[in-house]
């Protein structure tokens, strides 16, 4: 079990099966019937991941490494808060206060300095998870306090996605740190997931319909069976968010008669981080949504609009190559390997909702473990050279 959850290819399979399980609940009349072609495409991706995962399983299995407590934690958290303070001055608003007062119109561009904000909140996400890894390694309680201090800005910003990234990344660190995954851990994890899903819906109700828990179900054509059933409306948010991307993908497949055929647009919009197209002010294409406000459609939805099934297959191959290359790159570092795995799993799992390669807020999370590793290696080499020179020992030039 432990080897299975420490393999990114198997994580892809497990995470991409989940939306279909939620889809089977059939709580909304909006969702189209799933086509055989789409099911076969997903089956194709699972087979490829089984092969690649088996290679890693035997050739390069992941090994957990604890880390020491960093002496830079307080300084880095202070810098993060300074960055957010500068952004608050720039934006002249605090999202949570505006939400309470009913004056805040939420979208991803209403707070922060363009481009700079992507760096700040993605780095904050990474460092929260790295702090949790330090806590798991040392069990020092002050690190848990610092973890919540680092997480707090996402509550002020009402960033549910970032909170979920941190919680999911921390959960990954916890599982990777265990010698074995017992039945007790599985039960506790399931209970925790249920609680998180409920809170996710609760926060969603605060942001939509002025707290009316029936607003979103009614707006998305929830079935009468669900509305009259015993399941709390808060859980409908999770159903909607997890299943609707597949519904949008199927809907786009059903209504896209002729793919766009723009290979350059496909590469620019689907294969590289989106800050590039923002700088170039390039406009992308749309896809056929099942509903105006359900605007996510998995990593594959736009690729079908551009190049049809060929675009989806190419993007999958590109994606799976990247995640496996990144996995191998992480094995070169011990200090940031576990946090890097957590960031990688976030990118894989949230690819169910959007293209995490093209979305800079997701893909940039992968950079920090590698950058920190390179910087740390250089510092260690420099310190070792100083010690050798001070001791009068010969220094080997490589």
Q: 305-327 pLDDT, tens per residue?
A: 999 999 999 999 999 999 999 99
What's the pLDDT band for 382 if we cut at 50, 70, 90?
confident
Q: Which CA distances in Å does 233 have to 11, 66, 182, 199?
A: 29, 41, 32, 11
Helix (H) or strand (E) holding 169: helix 160-177
Residues 75-105: tens digit of each pLDDT: 999 999 999 999 988 888 777 777 666 666 6
77 by Cβ neighbours in 10 Å (0-12 / 13-18 / 19+) ranks as buried
Quick one: tokens of 129? 């998870």
Predicted pLDDT of residue 384: 64
Predicted pLDDT of residue 78: 96
Residues 124-139: tens digit of each pLDDT: 999 999 999 999 999 9
What's the pLDDT band for 397 if we cut at 50, 70, 90?
very low
Residues 160-195: tens digit of each pLDDT: 789 989 999 999 999 999 888 888 888 888 898 888
Q: Which CA distances in Å does 134 have to 2, 333, 339, 368?
A: 20, 15, 10, 16
Predicted pLDDT of residue 361: 83
Average pLDDT for the chain: 87
What's the pLDDT band for 340 if we cut at 50, 70, 90?
very high
> Which range, 231-240, 342-351, 363-372, is most confident?
342-351
Helix crossing, 116-138 with 141-156: angle to 10°?
160
| Chain-centre distance for alpha carbon 333 | 22
Check pLDDT > 80 for residue 378: no
Say what percent of the chain tops pLDDT 70. 89
Whole-model pTM: value is 0.87
Q: What CA–CA distance (Å, rounded) separates 299 from 352?
A: 6
Check pLDDT > 80 for residue 278: no
Quick one: tokens of 233? 């409306």
Check pLDDT > 60 for residue 344: yes
Burial 356-392 (b: 16+ CB within 10 A, else e): bbbbbbbbbbbbbbbebbeeeeeeeeeeeeeeeeeee
Please choose, from the candidates 209, 275, 269, 274, the residue with its C-alpha nearest in 3D space to the C-alpha of residue 237: 209
Quick one: tokens of 85? 């303070």
Predicted pLDDT of residue 398: 37
């Amino acid at each position: 079990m432990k080897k299975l959850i420490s393999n990114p290819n198997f994580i892809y399979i497990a995470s991409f099966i989940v939306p279909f399980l939620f889809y089977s609940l059939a709580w909304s009349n909006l969702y189209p019937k799933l086509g055989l072609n789409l099911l076969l495409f997903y089956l194709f991706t699972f087979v490829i991941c089984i092969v690649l995962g088996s290679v890693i399983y035997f050739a390069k299995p992941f090994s957990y490494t604890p880390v020491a407590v960093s002496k830079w934690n307080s300084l880095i958290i202070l810098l993060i808060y300074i960055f957010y303070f500068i952004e608050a001055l720039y934006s002249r608003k605090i999202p949570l206060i505006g939400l309470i007062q009913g004056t805040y119109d939420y979208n991803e561009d209403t707070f922060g300095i363009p481009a700079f904000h992507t760096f700040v909140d993605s780095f904050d996400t990474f460092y929260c998870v790295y702090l949790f890894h330090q806590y798991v390694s040392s069990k020092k309680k002050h690190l848990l306090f610092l973890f919540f201090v680092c997480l707090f800005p996402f509550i002020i910003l009402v960033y549910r996605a970032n909170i979920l990234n941190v919680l999911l990344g921390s959960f990954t660190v916890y599982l990777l740190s265990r010698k074995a995954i017992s039945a007790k851990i599985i039960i506790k994890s399931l209970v925790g997931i249920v609680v998180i899903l409920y809170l996710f819906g609760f926060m969603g109700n605060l942001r939509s319909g002025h707290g009316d828990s029936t607003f979103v179900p009614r707006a998305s054509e929830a079935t009468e069976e669900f509305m009259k059933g015993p399941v709390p409306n808060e859980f409908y948010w999770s159903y909607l968010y997890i299943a609707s991307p597949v519904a949008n993908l199927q809907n786009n497949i059903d209504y896209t008669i002729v793919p766009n055929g723009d290979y350059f647009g496909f590469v620019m919009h689907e294969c590289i981080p989106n800050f590039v197209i923002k700088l170039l002010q390039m406009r992308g294409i749309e896809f056929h949504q099942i509903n105006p406000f359900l605007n996510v459609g998995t990593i594959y939805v736009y690729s079908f609009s551009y190049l049809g099934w060929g675009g989806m297959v190419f993007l999958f191959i590109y994606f799976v190559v990247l995640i496996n290359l990144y996995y191998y790159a992480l094995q070169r570092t011990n200090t940031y390997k576990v946090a890097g795995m957590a960031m990688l799993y976030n990118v894989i799992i949230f690819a169910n909702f959007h293209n995490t390669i093209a979305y800079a807020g997701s893909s940039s999370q992968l950079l920090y473990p590698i950058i920190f590793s390179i910087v740390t290696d250089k510092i260690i080499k420099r310190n070792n050279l100083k010690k050798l020179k001070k001791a009068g020992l010969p220094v080997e030039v490589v």
